[in-house]
Structure 1
Amino acid sequence: MERKRHHEEASSESDDENYVPYVPLKERRKNEILKVTKKLGRAGRLLQEEEKKESTDDGGMQDEEEEIQVGPNANMSLLDQHSELIKKAEAKKESAREKLLKEEERILESVAENKALMGVAELAKGIQYQDPIKTGWTPPRAILAMPKERHQRMRKKMEILVEGEDIPPLCITFKEMKFPHIILKALKKRGIEKPTPIQMQGIPVVLMGRDMIGIAFTGSGKTLVFALPIIMFCLEQEKRLPFVKNEGPYGLIVCPSRELAKQTTEIINFFSRHLVEDGYPALKCLMCIGGMAIKEQLDMIKQGVHIIVATPGRLMDMLEKKMVNLDICRYLCLDEADRMIDMGFEEDVRTIFSYFKGQRQTLLFSATMPKKIQNFARSALVKPVTVNVGRAGAASLNVTQEVEFVKNEARMVYLLECLQKTPPPVLIFAEKKQDVDAIHEYLLLKGVEAAATHGSKDQEERSWAVDQFRKGAKDVLVATDVASKGLDFPDIQHVINYDMPEDIENYVHRIGRTGRSANRGVATTFISKACDESTLLDLKYLLIEAKQKVPPFLAQLEAESEKYLEIGGEVGCSYCGGLGHRITDCPRLEAVQNKAAQNIGRKDYLASNAADW
């Protein structure tokens, strides 16, 4: 028993020796701080003294708080922490936006044309005009005497955006523009009492001899902005020194389609006839378009001509064969300029510029002009003035846009129902020529008075169809996009899109055939599963911008970069003008780059084969 007790005592002694007393967490931290301060020396001791001071000031509660606090922001309130997190998120967002803007700038630079939109001779000789052409027209003294603030208020009220140096003041009546009394009378005959916003600012700019980029929605009266000044300039030249045989033109207007060229010629001839009736000299306006006998056009040129309205193909042919010259031409207008450049006429336009013998006044007009085209076009202009009414590529607010989901096989039958929405005339657009012919045949079988036009029909048939429709002899005109650009049908109340065009610009031009000159109109568009999603996204945001009803099947579509659709002062894509994407996701740019890559590959293949031979 004693031995046993001795063993128990020995074991208890050994346990006491191995026993480590519990040290509270606070003391352990202090010990660690002491070790660190010994290593740091004087700086550590000072730090320790400051900590002791703070602890004595705050009392014993400080120690407990130190144990509870966790993380760097533990001493901040939840509200402060929340606001701090929001700031960090916004900073990250801004950096992402900046990164996207830089990427877009890089893409725009890469797709920018290296060669300026100037004549070959001017590029070769390095000719650059510094000052605009001077004319004898000046605004009335009363307008000039008004303060600049008044003009700025008027522009803001009319939603006119103007860029450029020494911008001429706007004139709010045709009388202030100093047109002859007979021109004012002719305007009233056409039902035009007062100028539209683009005319208020655009006509004074052109009359003063300034180069101009004019952008306004369809049906806003852009044609008169360049037609009336060119008539006045030619009239002035004819009065000073009458035109002789083989002389002219003084003014040149280039249009992308024959129908638009014909319409512009008719407008100029209308005002010229009224001037002759009032005792003014006769002005000769020649239309040069394909599909017509060239002999008649040559006979008129030999007699001397003041104005030529032409399409690029026929004009190029006549210039190359020296049937016409631009020696005295001082006025050039490109109507629907962006469409011409997009349609592949860019080299033709550059070649036309090279036939000018001196400086000219250059005007570019369109309803849709993306930033890329504007920047490219500026290389051809001297100190240009950009007049923009609304956003470039915006749809007319006078048009009620209705978008309906219709299966491809049901579209033809549904057309008849849509024709009942409004009384005639009605314009139907289709992308393919075979669809135009099929719709035309179907409507004729159903007893509808219809006409059709597209690029494969001869010129006589195309002109007849448009004339019959304009006169009211035909209730429906079925057409491809040749009839969508610039044509003026003032009585049309309804436009039907049998299919959604690939480009949103074409859609804007199509629906712009109705709702013109402050009239109201309806546009019905058929959508199916075959439509490209990127085009539908552009359509969705175009409807939202115009405050139109967005159907559910469009509303559910969401852009991947939706939060970045409006950044850097630019809305949507700066390449094609679509609102549903940015240039980084532009399908049109991607298609152009793919086509260019294919052509490069083909050229390399042909070149290698030629080398083998």
Structure 2
Amino acid sequence: MFSATFPKEIQRLAQDFLDNYIFLAVGRVGSTSENITQKIVWVSEDDKRSFLLDILNAAGLDRATEANKDDKMAMGVPPRREESLTLVFVETKKGADALEEFLYRHGYPVTSIHGDRSQREREDALRVFRSGQCPILVATAVAARGLDIPHVKHVINFDLPSDIEEYVHRIGRTGRMGNLGLATSFFNDKNRNMVRDLVELLQEAKQELPKWLEAIASEARFGGGGGRGRAGAKRFGGGFGSRDYRQADRNKGPHTAGPARPGGGFNSFGGAAPHFNHYGGYGGFSGSQGYNSYNTSGASGTDWWGGN
């Protein structure tokens, strides 16, 4: 069983079918790779579509740009290829259809996928997306898990999910297999319930933390609001599956829900995270032409299992 997040419910499922299994964690379970540059921007509901158009225009994903690719080649500018795909997440199936129609009417090669589509329609949408024929895919949470397309360069959370676990799965569609990726999320008052978990995740991954987002998190902390993930569990305290649930606190006895595996019940492979610099944003993902330039460094020496 493999997962970016491993809540206790899924661990219990493993125990139902496996005997004395090994819990193997690489890095921090439930966290994100530093290969993914995360950008959080404040966008009101009424401005989301125009903001999305600005991002797609900056990336040169409109049909007019594609039609002029021969001229660009003559000027020494490489055309857009299937190696630069954009995945846009929305909250509802109706919203996915509406946003696809909106982008199509504005001249963007786009397709969509959601739970009401037949298997054939889903396969067709993924085929034209992978090939670069439609380099923009609008999707609901149905595409947040199990979708392994190596050239997704940009994930856009047009609608943020309601919990941080879903956010981790969504942005994990980019930055795969050692590649760099960009994840942009539109945040507004509707998303205050996940602000504290989001801030913790950004800090953990050494990402840029907007001052306004930090201020909202502080308000939530002192005001008692702002959510706390599933069932109010502290992130990285076990709610995300950050440790083998059979493994009790080091100062306590074994967990009564299942036998503890000799040697601790899990193994952990460490090592420094990849280092990358000057990763561009919306302007073609390179250099200072983009929305911003980012500098990120390697992992800290933290013991993810609660030690020193």
SS of aligned partner of 1:486: coil
- Residue 460 in structure 1 maps to residue 97 in structure 2: no
Following the alignment from structure 1 to structure 2, what is the Cα–Cα distance between the partners of residues 577 and 381?
A: 17
Following the alignment from structure 1 to structure 2, what is the Cα–Cα distance between the partners of residues 375 and 382?
A: 12
* TM-score normalised by structure 2 residue count: 0.63
- Residue 437 in structure 1 maps to residue 97 in structure 2: yes
> What code does the residue aligned with 1:507 have?
Y
SS of aligned partner of 1:523: strand
**CA apart distance, 1:421:** 4.7
Aligned to 1:507: 167
> What code does the residue aligned with 1:416 have?
L
Aligned to 1:517: 177
**CA apart distance, 1:425:** 1.6
Following the alignment from structure 2 to structure 1, what is the Cα–Cα distance between the partners of residues 123 and 9?
A: 34
Report Cα offsets for 1:416-451 as digits up to 9, x if no partner: 111245464211001111111111011101110000
From the superposition, tell whether residues 393 and 459 of structure 1 become closer, same or farther in structure 2 (CA, over 3 Å): same
- Residue 548 in structure 1 maps to residue 212 in structure 2: no
- Residue 481 in structure 1 maps to residue 141 in structure 2: yes
Q: Are 2:197 and 2:235, in contact at CA under 8 Å, matched by a contact in 1?
A: no
Aligned to 1:538: 197
> What code does the residue aligned with 1:547 have?
K
Q: How does 1:396-435 map to 2 (within 5 A)?
A: 396-422=33-59, 424-435=84-95
Q: Are 1:422 and 1:493, in contact at CA under 8 Å, matched by a contact in 2?
A: no
**CA apart distance, 1:390:** 0.9
Following the alignment from structure 2 to structure 1, what is the Cα–Cα distance between the partners of residues 237 and 56?
A: 35
From the superposition, tell whether residues 409 and 571 of structure 1 become closer, same or farther in structure 2 (CA, over 3 Å): closer
> What code does the residue aligned with 2:136 have?
V
Q: Whose RCO is larger (CA < 8 A, sep 6+)?
A: 2
Aligned to 1:575: 239
Following the alignment from structure 2 to structure 1, what is the Cα–Cα distance between the partners of residues 49 and 8?
A: 38
**CA apart distance, 1:531:** 1.4
From the superposition, tell whether residues 442 and 547 of structure 1 become closer, same or farther in structure 2 (CA, over 3 Å): same
Following the alignment from structure 1 to structure 2, what is the Cα–Cα distance between the partners of residues 543 and 492?
A: 21
SS of aligned partner of 1:531: helix
Name whichever structure is richer in helix by fraction: 1
Report Cα offsets for 1:176-199 as digits up to 9, x if no partner: xxxxxxxxxxxxxxxxxxxxxxxx
Q: How does 1:191-210 map to 2 (within 5 A)?
A: none
**CA apart distance, 1:576:** 4.8
SS of aligned partner of 2:46: helix
Aligned to 2:299: none
> What code does the residue aligned with 2:17 have?
A
Following the alignment from structure 1 to structure 2, what is the Cα–Cα distance between the partners of residues 471 and 389?
A: 31
List gaps (5 residues or longer) in structure 1: 1-363, 579-613
Q: Are 2:7 and 2:240, in contact at CA under 8 Å, matched by a contact in 1?
A: yes
> What code does the residue aligned with 2:124 have?
W
From the superposition, tell whether residues 514 and 421 of structure 1 become closer, same or farther in structure 2 (CA, over 3 Å): farther
> What code does the residue aligned with 1:412 have?
R
SS of aligned partner of 1:501: coil
Report Cα offsets for 1:131-185 as digits up to 9, x if no partner: xxxxxxxxxxxxxxxxxxxxxxxxxxxxxxxxxxxxxxxxxxxxxxxxxxxxxxx
> What code does the residue aligned with 2:177 have?
S
Report Cα offsets for 1:88-146 as digits up to 9, x if no partner: xxxxxxxxxxxxxxxxxxxxxxxxxxxxxxxxxxxxxxxxxxxxxxxxxxxxxxxxxxx
Following the alignment from structure 1 to structure 2, what is the Cα–Cα distance between the partners of residues 421 and 381?
A: 50
Following the alignment from structure 1 to structure 2, what is the Cα–Cα distance between the partners of residues 518 and 376?
A: 30
Q: How does 1:249-264 map to 2 (within 5 A)?
A: none
- Residue 383 in structure 1 maps to residue 20 in structure 2: yes
**CA apart distance, 1:397:** 1.4
**CA apart distance, 1:573:** 4.7
Following the alignment from structure 1 to structure 2, what is the Cα–Cα distance between the partners of residues 545 and 448?
A: 35
**CA apart distance, 1:460:** 1.5
Following the alignment from structure 1 to structure 2, what is the Cα–Cα distance between the partners of residues 389 and 499?
A: 29
Q: How does 1:203-222 map to 2 (within 5 A)?
A: none
**CA apart distance, 1:577:** 6.0
The two structures, once aligned, show a CA RMSD in angstroms of 2.3
- Residue 450 in structure 1 maps to residue 110 in structure 2: yes
Report Cα offsets for 1:58-110 as digits up to 9, x if no partner: xxxxxxxxxxxxxxxxxxxxxxxxxxxxxxxxxxxxxxxxxxxxxxxxxxxxx
Aligned to 2:276: none
**CA apart distance, 1:457:** 1.6
Aligned to 2:271: none
Count how many residue pairs are aligned between Structure 1 and Structure 2: 208
List gaps (5 residues or longer) in structure 2: 61-83, 229-233, 243-308
Aligned to 1:472: 132
Q: Are 1:422 and 1:494, in contact at CA under 8 Å, matched by a contact in 2?
A: no
Following the alignment from structure 1 to structure 2, what is the Cα–Cα distance between the partners of residues 441 and 393?
A: 34
Following the alignment from structure 2 to structure 1, what is the Cα–Cα distance between the partners of residues 235 and 182?
A: 26
Identity of aligned residues (%): 41
Q: How does 1:224-373 map to 2 (within 5 A)?
A: 364-373=1-10
Q: How does 1:146-225 map to 2 (within 5 A)?
A: none
Q: Are 1:502 and 1:532, in contact at CA under 8 Å, matched by a contact in 2?
A: no
Following the alignment from structure 1 to structure 2, what is the Cα–Cα distance between the partners of residues 577 and 374?
A: 8
Report Cα offsets for 1:549-594 as digits up to 9, x if no partner: 1112221113359xxx9xxxx854533569xxxxxxxxxxxxxxxx
Following the alignment from structure 2 to structure 1, what is the Cα–Cα distance between the partners of residues 14 and 187?
A: 34
Q: Are 1:537 and 1:554, in contact at CA under 8 Å, matched by a contact in 2?
A: no
> What code does the residue aligned with 1:546 have?
A
Name whichever structure is richer in strand by fraction: 2
From the superposition, tell whether residues 488 and 476 of structure 1 become closer, same or farther in structure 2 (CA, over 3 Å): same
SS of aligned partner of 1:419: helix
Following the alignment from structure 2 to structure 1, what is the Cα–Cα distance between the partners of residues 16 and 58?
A: 47
Q: Are 1:372 and 1:574, in contact at CA under 8 Å, matched by a contact in 2?
A: no
Runs of 4+ in 1 over 2 A off after TM superposition: 370-380, 420-424, 558-561, 570-578
